[in-house]
Amino acid sequence: MAQASFDRLMELNPDDSTALQAMDWLLEAWSKSTAKDAPLKAERILKQMKDIQKDNTESSFSYPNRHSYTNAILAWSKSKEEGSALKAHRMLFQLLDEYEKGNLPDESVPDLFGINGVISAWARAGKAERAEEVLWRANEISKKCKSVEPNVVTYNSVVHAYLRDGDLSKAIYRILPIVEYMIEHKEQNPGICPDCFTYHCVLRAWEKNKDKVAVKKCVETLETMHQLWELGDTSLAPKNVFYNMVINKLAKATDDFGTQSVMRIFHLLQKSPYCSPDIISYTSVIESLSKCQDPIAAERCLELFNEVSQLYEENEDPALKPNLRTYTMVLLSLTKIPTLDNVLQAQKLLLQLEERYKESNDPQLKPNTYPYNYVLNCAASCVGNAGEKLKAFHVATETYNAMRKSDHIKSDSYTYSFWIKASNNLLPEGELRAKCIALSFEQCKKEGLVNEAVLRRLLAGTPQNVLDHALPSGLGSTHANHRRLSVDDLPPHWTRNAR
């Protein structure tokens, strides 16, 4: 439409001033177009404008100007064609070079939209270092030409580009110098003061980082955000997403700092008048507790689970609805303190999970192998007298059989490993124990699921006569004893599906 109107105007043979005005409008139209050839057409129009200006050296035309050059750059930077980011980059830098040489007046230097456009183009192309190159070049030029002075959006675009780049584990070390520069210069240039998005990116970068200091840095970043908010930065008001990112990172830690800090931050979230814990918060805290050695950790996990379950029942808030991961993490915590009470509690939770899934058909509640294996392992690890161990074995039996009958649960290598563990730990030596181990191992071989864990469990406590039957004497004849076997000695079809 714009091109057709322009063509009709040009048929009237307008004067150069009118033609330049029309070309500038058309150039803007092509800068917003998604047509494949839009950048080339925009560049061609810009060349025509420059030629008219060159042929009229005595006239003071106002075109092409900053607006014109910026639109030509944007046409390339918005293009999805391969190499478009480089084309936009070269056009921008050529103009900046001309400005520095004194060949381009201030009013013709591309504005910040052009700078940000090229940075965004490099970010989409996964070239964060090139985006940063544009940032610092613009920052240097801005000392003489304020139209290209980067603002917080410019800096944030580069910071975010590193999050989209290849190696996320190293992203933080490219991001930090940029953010530190923003902090150091925010007094003289308030327009680059780090905002909510800046710190969100820093949090995400630390969350993805695998260095030992990353956990503490996540906590420090969140605390910095909270302090700045208390000092009056309203953009940094507490939000669930920030707390949850840090809580989740802490939940992955295996040291006491992680557990202690996760509870402290969780309590801050609970007390906040602006946001409150959701199921992500609760589940991550439960996960953190499930990994610690505190003897009351399992009890605390159950308390948190019951707390969030009650909140969900009272408020019917989907953000508080326990999901498969929530149940799974509570079950994992119970395996650490395998008393009979905890074994029975684990079975109760598993049955509840199955029941709620059948009632709701909610995919977020659909059980998989993990919760079943955790209940099986909890029962297999049960400590207590012979009577308590027998009750735990009944739980293991019901769980094992339920897995084998289920249409949506498949046994894996760890299922068989935990079942053999349960048979050896909970049953006295005798025919029942031998039969339970022999039948399950035969099924494990048939399914090709024998792995190192299964073999080690089989060899660890299984009576020799059962081993002699399960593992023929000809197998691993280079070894003096069955107990020195490894999975490499087993027939390939026994291990074909093992992980």
Distance CA 6, CA 429 (A): 95
Q: Which two tokens stand for residue 120?
A: 């965004």
Distance CA 227, CA 247 (A): 18
Band of pLDDT at residue 259, cut at 50, 70 and 90: confident
CA atoms within 13 A on the CB side of 178: 32
pLDDT, residue 475, reads 60
Looking at the structure of the chain, the number of domains it has is 1
Burial of 401 (0-12, 13-18, 19+ CB in 10 A): exposed
Q: Which two tokens stand for residue 144?
A: 């003489």
Q: Is residue 25 one of the residues assigned to a domain?
A: yes
Report the mean per-residue pLDDT for the chain.
89
**For residue 249, which amino acid is it?**
K
Band of pLDDT at residue 478, cut at 50, 70 and 90: very low
Q: Which two tokens stand for residue 122?
A: 């490099």
Q: Which residue did the predictor score with more confidence, 435 or 49?
A: 435
Q: Is residue 228 one of the residues assigned to a domain?
A: no
Distance CA 300, CA 125 (A): 47
Q: Is residue 8 one of the residues assigned to a domain?
A: yes
| DSSP per position, 347-374 | HHHHHHHHHHHHHH--GGG---HHHHHH
Q: Is residue 264 one of the residues assigned to a domain?
A: no
**In this structure, are residues 197 and 178 in contact, taking their beta carbons and an 8 Å threshold?**
no
Tens of pLDDT, residues 107-160: 888 899 999 999 999 999 999 999 999 999 999 999 999 889 999 999 999 999
> Residue 184's Cα: distance from chain center in Å?
30
CB atoms within 10 A of CB 358: 10
Phi and psi at 317, nearest 5°, equal: -90, 115
Most confident residue range from 16-20, 105-109, 305-309: 305-309
Distance CA 245, CA 268 (A): 14
Percentage of the chain beyond pLDDT 70 is: 93
**401: alpha, beta or left, given left = phi > 0 and alpha = psi -120 to 50?**
alpha
pLDDT, residue 58, reads 56
Q: Is residue 102 one of the residues assigned to a domain?
A: yes
pLDDT, residue 460, reads 84
17-31, 139-153, 347-361, 418-432: least confident range: 17-31
Band of pLDDT at residue 18, cut at 50, 70 and 90: confident
Percentage of the chain beyond pLDDT 90 is: 61
Q: Is residue 2 one of the residues assigned to a domain?
A: yes
Distance CA 356, CA 248 (A): 26
Distance CA 331, CA 159 (A): 39
Q: Is residue 276 one of the residues assigned to a domain?
A: no
CB neighbour list of residue 437: distance below 8 Å, 6 or more residues apart = 420, 423, 424, 458, 462, 466, 470
DSSP code of 125?
Answer: T
Tens of pLDDT, residues 195-215: 999 999 999 999 888 888 998
In angstroms and rounded to an integer, the radius of gyration of the C-alpha atoms of the chain is: 33
Q: Is residue 180 one of the residues assigned to a domain?
A: no
pLDDT, residue 482, reads 62
> Is residue 238 pLDDT above 90, yes or no?
no
62-66, 125-129, 311-315: least confident range: 62-66
**For residue 81, which amino acid is it?**
E
**450: alpha, beta or left, given left = phi > 0 and alpha = psi -120 to 50?**
beta
Domain of residue 102: give its range.
Answer: 1-126
